[in-house]
Amino acid sequence: MPIVDLANPSRFLALTARLMPWLIGATVLAFAVGLVMVKGAPDDYQQGATVKIMFIHVPSAWLAMGIWALMAIATFGTLVWRHPLADVAAKAAAPIGAAFTALCLITGMLWGRPMWGTYWVWDARLTSVLVLFLMYLGVIALWRTVEDPSRAARAAAILTLVGALNLPIIKWSVDWWNTLHQPASVVRLAGPAIHPTILMPLLAMAVAFLLLMVTLHLAAMRNEILRRRVRTLMLMQAQAAPGSAS
Amino acid sequence: MSALAALFVREVRLAVRVGGGGGIGALFFLIVVVLTPFAIGPDLALLARIGPAILWLGALLASLLTLDRLLTADLEDGSLDLILMSDTPLELAVAAKAFAHWITTGLPLVVITPLLGLLLNLDAGASAAVALTLFAGTPALTFIGAIGAALSVTLRRGGLLLAVLVLPLTVPVLIFGVAASNAAIVGPVPFGTPFTILCALTLASLVVGTFAAAAALRQGME
Amino acid sequence: MAQVQLEGSGLTCVRGGREVFSGLNFAVGGGEALLVTGRNGAGKSSLLRMVAGLVRIAAGRMGLTGGDPERTIPEQAHYLGHQDALKPSLTVAENLEFWSRYLGGAGGAMPALAAVGLDSLAELPAAYLSAGQRRRLSVARLVAVRRPIWLLDEPTAALDRQAQERLSLLMREHLASGGLIVAATHGPVGLDNARELRLGAAA
């Protein structure tokens, strides 16, 4: 790896090292404010306190989709500009996206349990999120299977872009499939009518989740950069060893 | 014994390191189960009824999928030559490899089965029954698959040939695995009857699979 | 160690329906090296793999005298083929330790790694090694586990001059301790008193 390539990640590491404490503080603060606001939010007249699961479920769902969009943008950086940080960003984002998607699924199941009497019905929204979860796991598997980061990056970039194109089609197909089969009696998972007393805490939680995501993502990117440095150092050590010429 | 322990540890290490693909089988299992309702519709009663069958088919395909690399990787890098030359009996080496393979690919399938049971509207007891039958039955799939893996290695053909060779041999395991699961969930046959047969099939395939795979490898020597 | 003697008489090799060589006779004793030469396809590799028990003997017989009577010829032989039998995701030390334990070696891996000059890279994944380093790592196997017969297929391929000299040193030590070497090669391997078995010319 040429020195020029290392320069940019170095500045990134220095910058994020200074930024990180502030981000962590802001995340904690935002969660504190958000949770207090959630506590003050009224219960739903039908669902009672279970409706408050929404304040975790909905921001997770937004992030689940948002992080794929972030990965798709990062892959442009990989494929078009070959920016050294782009595929680091894409790789670091995948497990975080999968985690938020899993959180969205789990909270969805907990939310659905009292309404449906079972943890899972093939609700259109949750099913789309489940397919998204599978796609995240596929991208992670791809990253884990190919040892050379730059080769893995290009393959993952193509998969991510194809996924981004496919997601609306998948969403539309699942909706169509669901209306085809769904008996009308089953209650759908849908937010109650958005009322300001609910909207404000929801937005506060969304900000907190966003800050959490940014913090985790930057930390994961730092780890990935350091992991690649270790790899480069190992390669250099092998090359520097006596009689390495072949 | 130490040689076999070394082989076992090596196989497990390879499966969990980068590039090993230890979790791919479980991911494939999850995808198969998720795809099924798209094909047959999200009718919860129907899903609960055929859930054990879906889980068993998914686990069968998933354990087959990963078997391709059981011996091919060792053939490609020359390790198989050294294993054949060693004074450690080939049967035991094959058994150690297959056992390590089951630990890293078969056991995860059993572990995620209760989770997949939720998706198929199985209650806790039914999920546990399916997980138990998979725990008893997936070793049979791995060891029968080892025969196919050995044959496809000696024929220098991988992939689909292995599936075609192995799938018909797994029919009894599938029959009694699903039967035992259903017996536990709805009856009317007592659970013990098919489950005992399933365990017997597994024990038999541990022996037959090991010896047949080793024989296939020796036979394949030029 | 008793004086060992590896003998083959009237050996015939058939691969893929084609007769590679027939009626081949050779004998190598302890302390001797036999260089198998000949054009491509003459059966150099096949002969080595035949001694290693990896290619069936179509006709003729092979015998070892003076070795361990309890063990077969392949169990007393090291085979260094074209492939290195290494796993890229395991470290250098893990790779060697595995083969050392699997093949019944007594000593640790580090002295053998030092003998091939790879001790400084012990903790590195084998994926990061160059072709020459990989070759040396598989040579370390021969040092780690003591066996009287060394079957070497193009042992100097991918090795630079320094590594070749190190290998011929190891080979001379092996011969001096009463072992024998059968090597398929195109070029010299740095042994003075090696005999040559020319395949293809006699047939």
Question: What are the boundaries of each domain within chain A?
Answer: 3-40+52-180+193-225
Under-70 pLDDT residues of chain A: 1-7, 44, 47, 180-195, 242-246
**Record: contact A245-C130, CB cut-off 8 A:** yes
- Read off the DSSP letter of residue A50: G
Per-residue pLDDT reduced to its tens digit, C121-142: 888 888 888 888 888 888 888 8
Amino acid A243: pLDDT: 56
pLDDT band at C1 (very low <50, low <70, confident <90, very high): very low
CA C51 to chain A, closest CA, distance in angstroms equals: 29
The owner of tokens 């580090």 is C110
Specify the pLDDT at position A1. Answer: 41
- In this prediction, residues C53-78 reach a mean pLDDT of 82
The whole domain housing B52 covers: 2-219
Is C88 an interface residue toward B (CB < 8 Å)? yes
Question: Nearest CB to A238: which of C89, C121, C160?
Answer: C121
Give the end-to-end CA distance of chain A in Å, rounded to a whole number: 20
Q: Exposure of A81 by Cβ count < 10 A (0-12 exposed, 13-18 middle, 19+ buried)?
A: exposed
Distance CA A222, CA A89 (A): 10
Task: Name the residue among A131, A116, A201, A221 with its Cα closest to residue A167.
Answer: A131
Question: How far is the C-alpha of C88 from the C-alpha of C15, rounded, in Å?
Answer: 31
- Structure confidence at residue A186 (pLDDT): 42
Report the mean per-residue pLDDT for chain C: 81
Inter-chain residue contact C15 with B222, CB threshold 8 Å: yes
Using CB atoms, pick whichever of B19, B21, B34 lies closest to residue A134. B34
Residue C150 — φ and ψ, nearest 5°?
-115, 125
How many contacts (CB atoms, under 8 Å) link A and B?
A: 45
Is C22 part of a structural domain of the chain?
Answer: yes
Asked if C58 is an interface residue toward chain B (Cβ–Cβ < 8 A), one would say no
| CA triple A23-A26-A32, angle to 5 deg | 145
| Residue C92, domain extent | 5-198
* Domain-embedded: residue C193: yes
CATH code where residue C105 lies: 3.40.50.300
Q: Provide the pLDDT for residue A4.
A: 45
What subunits make at least 3 CB pairs under 8 angstroms with B?
A: A, C
Chain A CB contacts of B18 under 8 Å are 144-145, 147
State the ipTM, two decimals. Answer: 0.85
In the predicted model, what is the mean pLDDT of chain A? 82
SS (H, E, C) chain C: CCCCEEEEEEEEEEECCEEEEEEEEEEEECCCEEEEECCCCCCHHHHHHHHCCCCCCCEEEEEEECCCCCCCCHHHEEEECCCCCCCCCCEHHHHHHHHHHHCCCCCCHHHHHHHCCCHHHCCCEHHHCCHHHHHHHHHHHHHHCCCCEEEEECCCCCCCHHHHHHHHHHHHHHHHCCCEEEEECCCCCCCCCCEEEECCCCC
Is residue C203 in some structural domain? no
Output the pLDDT for position C163: 81
For residue C168, CA distances in Å to C44, C152, C172 come to 20, 12, 6
Contact between chains at B41 and A131 (C-beta distance less than 8 A): no
Please check whether residue C34 is in contact with residue C195, taking contact to mean a CB–CB distance below 8 angstroms: yes
Indicate the DSSP class of residue B220: T
Cα(B34)–Cα(B58) distance, integer angstroms: 10
Residue A48 DSSP SS3:
strand
Overall number of domains in chain B: 1
Are C144 and C116 spatial neighbours (Cβ–Cβ below 8 Å)? no
Q: Phi, psi at residue A196, to the nearest 5°?
A: -50, -35
Partners of residue B2 in chain C, C-beta under 8 Å: 101
> Which chain B residues in 94-133 lie under 8 Å from chain C, judged by CB atoms?
none
Q: pLDDT truncated to tens, each residue of chain B (222 aa)?
A: 588 888 898 888 888 886 666 688 889 999 999 998 888 888 888 888 888 999 999 999 988 888 888 888 888 888 888 888 888 888 899 999 999 999 988 899 999 999 998 888 888 888 899 999 999 999 999 999 999 888 888 877 767 788 888 889 999 999 999 988 888 888 777 888 888 998 999 999 999 999 999 988 888 776
For range C26-53, the mean pLDDT: 83
Q: End-to-end CA distance of chain B, in Å?
A: 29
Q: How many domains does chain C have?
A: 1
Distance from CA of C122 to the nearest CA of A (A): 10
**Which amino acid makes up residue C69?**
P
pLDDT at position A185, please?
A: 41
Note whether B27 contacts A181, CB cutoff 8 Å: no
Within 8 A of C130 by CB-CB distance, chain A residues are: 238-239, 244-246
- How distant is the Cα of A242 from the closest Cα of chain C, in angstroms? 8
Structure tokens at B10: 């090596």
> Tell me, what's the pLDDT at C203?
41
Q: What is the pLDDT of residues B123-145, one digit of tens each?
A: 888 889 999 999 999 999 999 99
